[in-house]
Structure 1
Amino acid sequence: MNDTITAALRRAADHQRGFEARFAEYFATLTEPAGGALDLPPNGAFPARALELVRELSLRGGKRLRVALLHEAAALVAEEREQQVPGLAEAAISVELLQTHGLIHDDIIDDAPVRRGGPSTYYAYRREFPDRPDTALALAVLAGDLAAFLSVRVLLAGALPPDRALAMAAVVTDAGATTVGGQLLDLERDFHPAPEPGLLHAVTEYKSTRYSVLAPLRLGLLAAGADLAPHDTELRAYATAVGIANQIHDDWLDLFGDPDALGKPVGSDIRSGRRTYLVSALLAAVDPAGRAVLDAALGNPDCTDEELDRICRIARDHGVDRAVRRVAERHARQAATRAAGWHGRWRPEAVAFFEHLPAWSVARDR
């Protein structure tokens, strides 16, 4: 790993460390004994338990890439140190709460028991209500909804000027709405035997890129007082390329990654029958014998580790693993080229972060 990528990762790690303490403090303010900021019903245990599970999943970690992106986006234009830009802390909390909302609902849709090295919110409720599956499902849905509403509330309830708070909240609500549209398209995608790249790119853009890459870029620039209009087209182009590279690599990791590094089992896309970039490439490349093996495993929740190992061997024999990685790397290079064009206009240290981030996004192990 070269020095420039290492420096970018070090900056991202610094943002992450600062954020973790702030995120924990935020949840403490919601429920502090002397009048918490969130007005939960005083009767019953379910509301407090939902918030507790949202907190647990939120603080369990993750890459926090969105946090780094919005800080570095502010650093592109801010005249002062980006940590001092008002609203960045609230924006970081907002995008991570939106992520929590997405994870909770994704795990319901995918029937996933594990998330970030611990139980998914859905399965936490299933353990608590083993004889009431409908109640467990309803509670998990509502916990995800709570995270989504908190993600907007943290911006509107802060000390930002009203016009800036509204503009930033609009970014978050727009990202949330488009993410739902992307999730719907994601479900539709799996009705296609072998989706075309255009459909896969649309799923990626609407389900993840809009809130994981584009929204943090917009929020960081807004917090720093920038006008988005002159830059939004190129921000979208950069976000699209990074998002595709990142998602293709995620799909690759789901079959070839290390479960301990990922914090969840591999093979979930195969077992759930999802037509991801990798699965679609496999379907297009394998011979009839390999296709029979893949067809038997796709959508089979009882697919064994031995069957997954066989699919891995088939993918490697047909060069699919290498081909998929090359496509991810190509999109990463496109994103880096986009960011390189920002030199001379924005602060060079922040531009370098965005220029070298794409290479890391296709080399990470989680």
Structure 2
Amino acid sequence: MTEQPRDRVARYGRRFDRVFAEYFDGLDKTLEAPAFSRYTPDCLALLRDLSLRGGKRMRVVLVHEAARLVRDDAPAEALDAAALSVELLQTHGLVHDDLIDDSATRRGGPTTYRAYLDRFPGHPRAALGLTVLAGDLALALSLRVLLDADLPVELRQAMTEVQVRAAADTFVGQITDLERDFAPGTPDEEILHDVADHKSARYSVLAPLRLGLLAAGGQPDLHDAELRRYARLVGICGQMRDDYLDLFGDAAAMGKPTGADIREGRRSYTVARLLSTVSGSERALLERALGDRDCTEETVAAIREIGERHGVPAHLRADMSRCAEQAAEVAAAWRPRWREEAVAFFEGLPRWSVDRDG
């Protein structure tokens, strides 16, 4: 991305953070909770804290840039409603992901589950139940923000349908993600692609694309096949990059230790490549480490060295680059139909996804 798009991306993020904070500040006036309830405002405070801690806001960026494919002056009300919806759905995912993974921290603070465990010491079932409900509430709010938006009813309905479908696809992705890790053997590439598509690409890329086009008066259904292909490729590329960084990235630059996928026993792109490459004592070391939450940093470093010796990082980078180029080709074909500057953004996005550090 050139400097100008980067500035525009930063502006989207700053403005959205203000909109997001104002949304949470006004929730107590619109969410009908019993007057005696103290747990409800506490839940909203936890969701607010998690939601406003940061993140790249790339889903928000995709909403705005998708609208710019059609026009440069899409209504702010529609763009804000779409952006709030995608980020609330993301908050739902973070709450439940951290519960599934039993993660302690997220974006420099405690996860919702750990926050509830601290609030209810000695009552883990209550903490578990309240965490699930907090995630569920974030999902409901992501749909309600569209239904409550001051927009034409047809647009509200179309946007809500996008998010309902995205949420359902994501849940299927989460299920198959767990299934992949329990299945015997090494998952093949198509299984990895399908999991990445359902778990991430459809709500993180495809839904924002559709919502942005709708906000600008476009008709995403007319271009469904190519939008799906672009989103799938970008989502796969991003997941490959995340999996690559989990073992071969710079822990200091990322702000978190490497090797989480190995310790959790995830059959990620990186782990699958390792399993299909190494043999003998090297494979035995990897298999012993998979799913061992007490796996030491020294063992992770040894596995990283094995992977480097066999050229695994280079293979993964080549796979990412090939996927990114395919996505860029899909976007380039949009030029006869949509505005040049926005098309150029989507053409460059997959390559940026490959080159990013964290």
Tell me the matched-pair count. Answer: 357
1:139-218 superposed matches below 5 A? 139-192=130-183, 193-218=185-210
Partner of 2:14: 17
Letter in 2 for 1:53: L
Task: Report if aligned partners of 1:117, 1:263 keep a CA contact under 8 Å in 2.
Answer: no
Structure 1 residue 254 displacement after superposition? 1.4
C-alpha separation between the residues in 1 aligned to 2:2 and 2:319?
Answer: 20
Provide the identity percentage. Answer: 54
Deviation at 1:55, TM superposition (A): 0.7
Deviates more, 1:264-273 or 1:138-147: 264-273
- Of 278, 281, 288, the residue aligned with 1:296 is 288
1:259 and 1:48 map into 2 onto residues whose CA distance is 36
2:60 to 67, 83, 90: 67
1:96 matches 2:87: yes
**One-letter identity of the residue aligned with 1:61:** G
Aligned partners of 1:41, 1:66: CA distance in 2, in Å? 34
d(CA) in 1 for partners of 2:120 and 2:249? 33
From 106, 117, 129, the counterpart of 2:108: 117
Letter of the 1:18 partner, please give it: R
User: Is the CA contact (8 Å cut-off) linking 1:257 and 1:266 kept in structure 2?
Assistant: yes
SS in 1 for 2:320: helix
1:105 match: 96
- Are positions 1:276 and 2:261 aligned together? no
Give how far 1:260 is off.
Answer: 4.9
AA paired with 1:49?
D
Which residue is equivalent to 1:224? 216
TM-score, normalising length: structure 2: 0.96
Counterparts in 2 of 1:78-97, with a 5 A limit?
Answer: 78=71, 80-82=72-74, 84-97=75-88
Corresponding position of 2:5? 8
- 1:257 aligns to 2:254 (yes or no): no
Tell me the equivalent position of 1:58.
51
Higher deviation after alignment, 226-235 or 161-170: 226-235
Unaligned 5+ runs, structure 1: none
Does the CA contact (< 8 Å) of 1:252 and 1:278 recur in 2? Answer: yes
CA deviation vs aligned residue, 1:29-58 (integer Å, no higher than 9, x gap): 112xxxx12222221321111111111111
Alpha-carbon distance in structure 2 between the residues aligned to 1:278 and 1:251: 6
The 1:259/1:90 distance shift into structure 2, 3 A limit, reads farther
**Aligned AA (1:239):** A
2:357 aligns with: 365
- Residues 237-285 of structure 1: CA distance to partner in whole angstroms, max 9, x if unpaired? 1111111101000111112234454454332211110101111001111
The one-character-per-residue Cα deviations of 1:136-158 (angstroms, maximum 9, x if unpaired) are 11111111001000000011011
Matching residue within 123, 137, 161 for 1:132:
123
On the 8 A contact 1:5/1:360 being kept in 2, the answer is no
Amino acid at match of 1:291: R
How far, CA to CA, are the matches of 1:135 and 1:360 in structure 2? 43
Q: Does 1:336 align with 2:328?
A: yes
Q: Is the 8 A contact 1:5 1:356 kept in 2?
A: no
TM-score normalised by L of structure 1: 0.94
Are 1:172 and 1:215, in contact at CA under 8 Å, matched by a contact in 2? yes
For the residue of structure 2 that corresponds to 1:290, the secondary structure is helix
Query: Structure 1, residues 75-102: CA drift from partner, whole Å, max 9, x if none?
Result: 0002x424x4431001101000000101
Q: Following the alignment from structure 1 to structure 2, what is the Cα–Cα distance between the partners of residues 365 and 56? A: 26
Moved more, 110-119 or 7-16: 7-16
Q: Which runs of 5+ in 2 are unaligned?
A: none
